[in-house]
Amino acid sequence: MYPKNLKTPFKLPLKSQVFKSVDTIPQTYWDSVNCCTNIYYSPEFLKAFELANTDIEFNYIFILKDQEAVAFANTQIVTIGVETITKNIKMSDNIRYRVNNLFCNNHIRVLFCGNIFLSGEYGTFLKHGEDKIATFKAIAQAVKQLSKSTKKLKAIFIKDFENESLPITNHLTSYDYTAMNVEPNMIITLKPEWHSFDDYTNALKSKYRVKANRADAKSQALVTKLFSEEDIETHKDALQALYQNTIDNADFNAQILNLDTYILLKKAFQDTFIVKGYFLEDKLVGFLSAMQNETHLDAHFIGIDYSKNKEFAIYPRILNDYVRLGIATKSTQINLGRTASEIKSTLGAEPKTLTCYCKHKRYLPNQILKPFIKNVHIKSFKQHSVFK
């Protein structure tokens, strides 16, 4: 029983524990938090990235209540060039110059809470039934402690929260973080009556149906293959080169993925993890990758030979094939990820807003940085209405 003078039950204090490797995390912690039904929080998924990307420092945070795990957070520490961050953010040249100078135009170490290789809310998981605000604040405090113990760290970035989470995550402002919008995820909602790609295209307005069919027609010369683990290993260098092409054309990437990760993911998840290659006269000229996560199909990285892209419509064909995969896997939605938002909207994808939070580790530079962050605007795009 509780003492009579207490109006509410005594709340057990929350503590944190940090692990440097997935292998050192007790199975009881995973069982208690009960997060592994979502593939992106499973130890098998996280371990693939940890093993293949040795230049990244991974840390895994668990929040404990009476020695029972009640929350999980996934973090990585990476080194990024400041100009990589600022060159494609919509800001004046003067502001960009001042921000670059604030970081001495240098490479900086950044602590990310969230998966830097995924676009979406896959960084923190709170156990059902727990006090969400108190538990999330405990994660914020644990990230703070981790940042204090990390040498030469300049900034902290907590990423990709959907609007429904903001009443919880906005408490990060009390830890001196500043919120900023980033490019939205582009989501296609699949209707249950679509059993084939033809069913999907028949639901499109004529203009967009013609566009989808044209992409298939232009790409007829491409030969496609679903890759096994052995295929990924055989073509790994070509896959890495094609992926690098897309990175070079992207607005922003915090880190380059070592595609040995894909070999490990394929081994762990088999048909749930999909890699599809596109060949032109026996040469690999493109690929897509995707993960089936419960009822969702999530597009992961792609690679394209841009010298062949216009003639053979490699990228539009990849987008069409994501729709095909979504229908074939009986998914309810396809997450096409960020970037190229307008062309994705021509397939029926709609934006899902994402918010990130960031801060400089030191107090004074953080106060200088805040107004710049608040003035960051994501690139606008035309949202197409494609269905009849």
10-residue mean pLDDT profile of the chain (388 residues): values are 44 88 98 96 97 96 96 95 55 62 70 94 94 96 95 93 96 96 95 97 97 98 98 97 88 79 98 98 97 96 97 98 98 95 97 95 92 82 95
Q: For 290, phi and psi rounded to 5 degrees?
A: -155, 155
Helix (H, G, I), strand (E, B) or coil at 231: helix
Quick one: pLDDT at residue 369? Answer: 87
Long-range contact list for 376-379, CB < 8 A, 24+ apart?
376/89, 376/90, 376/91, 376/180, 376/181, 377/90, 377/91, 377/181, 378/90, 378/181, 378/182, 378/183, 378/184, 379/90, 379/183, 379/251
H or E stretch at 247: helix 236-249
Q: Given this model, what pLDDT does residue 90 score?
A: 52
Q: What is the spatial distance between Cα 139 and Cα 147, in angstroms, rounded to a whole number?
A: 12
Beta carbons within 8 Å of 10's beta carbon, 6+ residues apart: 2
- pLDDT for 7: 47
Number of residues written out for the chain:
388
Cα dihedral 262, 326, 378, 114 in deg (nearest 10)? -40
Q: Check residue 9 and report its DSSP letter.
A: P
**The dihedral formed by the CA atoms of 10, 16, 22 and 28, expressed in degrees to the nearest 10:** -20
Which residue type occupies 375?
Answer: N
Measure Cα distances from 269 to 21, 43, 262, 293 in Å.
20, 12, 10, 11
Q: How far is residue 65's CA from residue 201's CA, in Å, rounded to a whole number?
A: 51
